[in-house]
Structure 1
Amino acid sequence: MSLAALAARIESRTPAHRDRAVDGLRALALLAVPAGHWLLGGFTRSGDGALHNASPLSTFAGLAPVSWVLQMLGVFFLVGGYVSALSYRRRAGSARVWLGGRLARLGRPVLGVTAAWAVLAPVAYLLGVPGDTLRTGATLVVQPLWFVGVYLVVTALTPVCVRLAERLGGWAAAPLLGAVATVDFLRYGPYADSVPSWLSLLNILPGWLFAYQLGASWAVGRIGRRGARFLLVGGAVLFAVLLLVLHYPASMVGVPGEARTNSHPPSLLVVALAAAQSGAAVLLRERIGRLLRRPALWAPVVVVNLSAMTILCWHQTALLAAAVPASLVGSGAVPGLTTAPDSLGWIVARVLWLPVCAGLLVLIARRTRRFEAPWRRGTRAAKARNAVVGVLAAGFAVFALGLA
């Protein structure tokens, strides 16, 4: 089937009421995750041929604005809150049944990738892959999965978010911003030396729930264009003040060697960016919807959304599928892949590697997307398979926790 025929087929099967703009925003935010990790994550190769994580941001601090564009988790949580709120309000069964279905859909791909890596890692070791390379790989695989854990928690809070949205509209997110600001003041302000390091973890829930709550308010019709403009301008002004006056780190992702980070856990700068992104998303909704009326543009959006969790869980494996074999062949010094990310040549070479990583992800997704579908239950074989997957996933989780 030709691409044009496939696009026409997808178009013909799309319900008239489908909100194409929201799906487009979610696809854009999803694709920003692998793009960001592939562009801003590099490797160094030690004398024994093992790969270790590195970042071009350590050398090229001027690339930090790229992370502002590629850090689109605010948009993802906004759309997640919007879709979940609508789904929750339209549910046919109980809230418990609704929540169970959502959590199972998120959890299955995570179990799949961790179980697969529990098998891949020892096999790779027996084939001669250095142990340090496997530890680097495990770290990269786990890296995007923290997001799933946070998303599971905020999804469980959907009933509360909907009630707050109906009562307070967009202002329901204001206390979350205030909570993040308070923690940031304590950990970076004049009393920082007397504050325990674990206090920063208190920002994890409000920092990511902020955009999700805005999405719920948007879904119940309590954020219009006026509110969106306020979010866009207010978020942009707060972002500028934090960056230029209060000297927050410019990068939205962690930089090796830096004492402060904006991402883990999220700082007020992340919330400011999420506010601006959310405002822009609401304002551009109608324009994006019109644009996606074109079948050639709509078809890839549908494909990406159908494979959302697969993309999230397996994109780092695609990068490793290129880098690990390259590190074992010949000198192992492959520009843009296994060489240190400390030159302009590395940046150019890494950009050229992006289509290869994308192609590998497509090949991997063809085999692993089955983890997104409901698993069979009831039969003895299905129960045994599910138990094996659970045991393997638990084993990999223990291994990954040992790397922390």
Structure 2
Amino acid sequence: MTSTALAPRPARTGKRTARMLGTLRRSAASIDARTPEHRDRAIDGLRALALLAVPIGHWLLGGFHLDGEGALRNASPLSSFEFFAPMSWVLQMLGIFFLVGGYASVLSYRRSMARGESSGRWLRGRVARLGRPVLGVTAVWAAALPVLYALGVPGTTLHSGATLVIQPLWFVGVYTVITALTPLCVRAAERLGAWAAAPLLASVAVVDFLRYGPFADAMPSWLSILNILPGWMFAYQLGVSWGEKKLGKRGAWLLLVGGTALFALLLIAFHYPASMVGVPGEARTNSHPPSLLVLALAAAQSGAAILLRDRIGKLLRRPALWAPVVIVNLSAMTILCWHQTAMFGAATVGSFIGPIGGLTTAPETLGWIAARIAWLPVFAGLLVALGAWARRFEAPWAVGSKAARVRRVAAGLLAAGFAVFALGLA
């Protein structure tokens, strides 16, 4: 009787699975059919890959631990496991992101100029698309902080979360400044071709020599700040030259081989830190601001991306692979702005339960690594849920109405207040 009653269930489950897979295939085919023929799928694929590396990197290389008062404090497995450092070489894909950003920006800029639009109008449109989601996440956090505190979330926990959320947002500010310099990058590419990025590399090399070389003790502490703009602009300029057809496969091979050789030389002979992200307690860091090692990695990644472009484009002709790329690109800023909130949300709930492996325990054991990997689908699910709601912040603002202006001013004030709290200025 029991076996007879249970027998049909696998069949019903199989049918539901088949229907679900059929729905997914039809959705993927629909997305593929609506994609314009001229769309550069390889560029979108590279952007999606670089975007997904951000949350995966932060979720794997960041963690928490509970202090004696039950509050969450930020921690990193890199402090305990040096073998994690090579993982950061793969997950640090901002070089690819800036490369693709420069490529896409110059094409957009050229189209805008062909329509007779001004550089200012083109830039305002780009900045608005970057700024709206940032304003949204920081304003929401500012409004949520007092509510969470009233619900019993410790102030230390809230500060740990706010620090995590604001860390990736530095990228948006730097990217905005570099985007504003696109006309200069175009002129540099016209005059120097692919070599337009060489002075940026040289500038970072000089600053690194001064801050790490024999005269380091006599150098001011602020000297490293000089690397911020040329360090992140290097790959963007390569992307502009690529978009202007000034950088081809020969240059790509030079970037791949030369970047790889320079990367190895800096690690082995000049003892640069192996991790591409900051390690708590370490005096030197590669990414804040970028060191020459970051540019070497960006050069190698850029060369590989250019060489693999055609293969990636052909691969993404498959609807099942192309559909996720479209979804990720449509939610790019939402992913960037909210992925830390997803991890923090899970950890905050866990902190009220107690020590939970991979979530609220210190990242000091191999067991933590296995547990953290198991938590990744949970973080991803929370990000999808958050993103479904937060994507509204990527939509254009209403213009003209007084209520819309008041909301924008209020959001700006809330965002400023959150930045002050997160940076420890208050």
Classify the TM-score, shorter chain: over 0.9
Could you tell me whether the CA contact under 8 Å between 2:163 and 2:423 is conserved in 1? Answer: no
Could you tell me whether the CA contact under 8 Å between 1:43 and 1:51 is conserved in 2? Answer: yes
Structure 1's 403 and 244: CA in aligned 2 closer, same or farther, altered over 3 A? farther
Deviation at 1:230, TM superposition (A): 0.2
Q: 2:417 aligned with 1:395, yes or no? A: yes
Counting matched residue pairs gives: 402
Could you tell me whether the CA contact under 8 Å between 2:211 and 2:224 is conserved in 1? Answer: yes
Q: 2:401 aligned with 1:379, yes or no? A: yes
Matches for 1:17-166 after TM superposition, within 5 Å:
17-91=38-112, 92=115, 93-166=117-190
Please list every run of 5 or more consecutive structure 1 residues that lacks an aligned counterpart in the other structure: none
Please list every run of 5 or more consecutive structure 2 residues that lacks an aligned counterpart in the other structure: 1-19
**Alignment counterpart, residue 209 of structure 2, candidates 161, 170, 185:** 185
d(CA) in 2 for partners of 1:262, 1:391: 33
Query: Among the aligned pairs, what percent are the same residue?
Result: 73
Structure 2 equivalent of residue 201 of structure 1: 225
SS for the counterpart of 1:65 is helix
RMSD: 1.0
Q: TM-score, normalised by structure 2?
A: 0.93
d(CA) in 1 for partners of 2:363, 2:421: 28
Structure 2 equivalent of residue 367 of structure 1: 389
Q: Which amino acid aligns with 1:383?
A: R
Q: Which amino acid aligns with 1:312?
A: L
Q: Which amino acid aligns with 2:270?
A: L
Q: Please identify the structure whose Cα radius of gyration is greater.
A: 2
Q: Which amino acid aligns with 1:285?
A: R
d(CA) in 1 for partners of 2:46, 2:191: 26
Q: Which amino acid aligns with 2:411?
A: V
d(CA) in 1 for partners of 2:38, 2:315: 16
d(CA) in 2 for partners of 1:68, 1:384: 44
SS for the counterpart of 1:208 is helix
Residues 87-96 or 268-277, more deviating = 87-96
Q: Which amino acid aligns with 2:33?
A: S
Deviation at 1:403, TM superposition (A): 5.1
**Alignment counterpart, residue 368 of structure 2, candidates 346, 355, 363:** 346
Could you tell me whether the CA contact under 8 Å between 1:139 and 1:403 is conserved in 2? Answer: no
Q: Which amino acid aligns with 1:16?
A: E
d(CA) in 2 for partners of 1:270, 1:200: 14
d(CA) in 2 for partners of 1:5, 1:371: 29
SS for the counterpart of 1:143 is helix
SS for the counterpart of 1:144 is helix
Deviation at 1:27, TM superposition (A): 0.2
